[in-house]
Amino acid sequence: MKQGASLSARLGLCAGCVIAASTFGGSAVASQAGSPVQLTPQTFDTELYSVTRIAFSHDNHRVAFLGYAGPNSRQELDVTVFDVRTGRLIKSLPVPNASFVILKGGVAFSPDDSRLAAGANEITIWDTRSWTEVAHAPGPFEDGPFGGDDLLGLAYAPDGGQIVAAYGKVWGPGVVHVRNREVFIRLSEAVRRSAGDGKAPHTYERPEIQVFNASNGALLKRFAIVRDGRLGTGVRITSGLIVSRDGRAAYLAVRDFEGLSGLPPRIAIERIDLNSGAVAALFEHRQPDEFTALAVNSDQSLVATGEAVGNKQGWRGPDGAWVTHETTDPVRLWNARDGSPHADLGPSAGAVRRLLFLPDGSRVIACQTDNQSHNLMAIWDPKAKVLAAVVRVVTPRPVDVSCALSQDGRHAILTVPTDGPSGASMPEKAYMVDPLSTAR
C-alpha cells in the first residue's frame, strides 16, 4: 500500500472498521480454567516478504521490519517503518545486500531514536528525521560477498556511540582479502587440508563480533568467538546477539562441533567482554540440539534458551552407531551466575525461533512453531511455570517466524509468511498484542 494509508485500510482482521489507538494491541478471549488465554491480535501488512528482523523504537512509537521487497526477489531488501499507534507506513528504505539468501540480518534504533541501522551484511545508518543515509559500515564485506557470512544481529550500545554486530563466518586472522569465489574455494581447501593433517591452518573461518563507530561506520574493534586458544573452525553462532544494558558485554549462543563421531557438540552461551574481547562460557552442555533462541533478562541474572524439539540424529558414537537425543522442553531458564537450571517451560512440540523477556521479567515470550497451530507466540509465566497466553496463526505448514517486543513491554509483534488463495506468496502480516495484559 502507499505511504500514509489509513489504519482501517491496513488492518487484516478489521478491514473497513475503525480501531482506537488504545486498543491497537489486541484483546484476550476467555478460556477454560487452567488453559492459556487466547489473545486476539491486531494485524497489519508489513509490505515485505520473509521478514527476518524486527525492532521497536525506544519511545515505543515506531516499529521497523527487515525483509525482502518482492516475492521473487532473493536479493532486494527493504526496511519498512510503521507508526505503532496508527499502523501507518512512515518510510520504506532499500537495504544493500551482497548475497542472494540472508540468514537473519539486523535492525535497530539508536537509544535516542535519531538513527536507524539495518543490514543483511553491510550496515546502513539513516537519520530518522530526514531518512537520509548518514553512514555505512561494510563490515567483512568490504572486499566482496566472500569476505564473510551474513550479519546475524546488531545492536546499539546504550550510549548510542557504537554499533555491535555479529557475523557468522569471517576469514581470520584479518590479513586475507577474499574478493572472489576462486579465492574463497582455494582458502576453503587449504583449511580442510590443514585440519585433516591435524595442523592449525594459517587462515581459518571463525564467527566474529565487530564494533563500529555509530557516527561514521568506522570499524573500532573485532573479536573472534574462540576460547582457550582454539581457532574456532568448528564454532558456529546459532542464535541472535544481545548487548547488555550497561554496554559492557554481548551474549551469543554457539555450537562447537568437533566431528561426526565421539562426543556430541558443545552447546554454550558465550559472554563477550566488549572492552577486552575476552570470551567466557556462562554455561555449556554436550548435546546435538543447539540453542536456536536466546534472551537475557534486564539484570542479567537469568538466561532463556530455546530449542527445536523432537528426536534427532545427532552424532555417531564410538561404535559407529547413530546416537539420538530427544528434546522435550523447548524453552529453558538458567541462572546466569553459575549456569544452573532455573526452570523448564514446556513441553511443546515445535521449534523456538525467538525469545523475549518482559522488562520486569514477569513473562517470557517464545515465538515458535508447533504441531497443532504451526505458528504461535507463547507467553510463559516463569514463576508459575505455566503457559499464560498464546497467539495462534494457522498456516498450511510451519514457517520461519520472527518477533519483537517494545521497550515498555506493551507491544509484542509476531510476523508469519502468508500464502494467497492460489498459493502465491503474499506480504507478511504482523500480529500485535499487549503481553502485559497477561501479567496484571
Q: What DSSP assignment string belongs to 361-424? A: SS-EEEEEEESSSEEEEEEEETTTTEEEEEEEEE-SS----EEEE-TTSS-EEEEEEEE-TTS-
Which residue type does 370 have? D
**Nearest-angstrom CA–CA distance, 102 and 237:** 15
Query: What pLDDT, on the 0 to 100 scale, is given for residue 73?
Result: 61
Domain ranges of the chain: 26-60+292-440, 98-109+132-288
Query: What pLDDT, on the 0 to 100 scale, is given for residue 422?
Result: 65
* CA 356 to mean position of chain CA atoms: 10
Backbone angles phi, psi at 122, to 5 degrees: -70, 155
Query: What pLDDT, on the 0 to 100 scale, is given for residue 391?
Result: 93
Burial letters 89-122, b for 16+ CB under 10 A, else e: bbbebebbbbeeebbbbbbbbbbebebbbbbbbb
Please say whether the beta carbons of 323 and 299 come within 8 A.
no
pTM: 0.85
Q: With H, G, I as helix, E, B as strand and everything else as coil, classify residue 320.
A: coil
Q: Which residues pair with 212 in a beta bridge?
A: 163, 219
CA angle 41, 332, 293 (to 5 degrees): 65
Peptide bond just before 36 cis, omega within 30 deg: no
Peptide bond just before 347 cis, omega within 30 deg: yes
Query: What pLDDT, on the 0 to 100 scale, is given for residue 4?
Result: 36
How are beta strands 310-316 and 302-306 bridged, if at all? unpaired
Q: How many CA atoms does the CB half-sphere of 160 hold within 13 Å?
A: 11
Distances (CA, A) of 27 to 38, 57, 151, 405: 9, 23, 35, 17
**Nearest-angstrom CA–CA distance, 100 and 111:** 31
The length of the chain is 440
CB atoms within 10 A of CB 341: 11
Query: What pLDDT, on the 0 to 100 scale, is given for residue 297?
Result: 92
10-residue mean pLDDT profile of the chain (440 residues): values are 32 26 34 71 91 96 93 80 94 84 84 96 95 93 74 94 90 68 78 64 75 96 73 74 92 77 78 91 83 92 88 65 71 91 82 93 91 86 91 83 95 86 78 87
Query: What pLDDT, on the 0 to 100 scale, is given for residue 201?
Result: 58
**Nearest-angstrom CA–CA distance, 300 and 283:** 14
Query: What pLDDT, on the 0 to 100 scale, is given for residue 311?
Result: 62
Query: What pLDDT, on the 0 to 100 scale, is given for residue 417?
Result: 83
Q: Which residues pair with 335 in a beta bridge?
A: 302
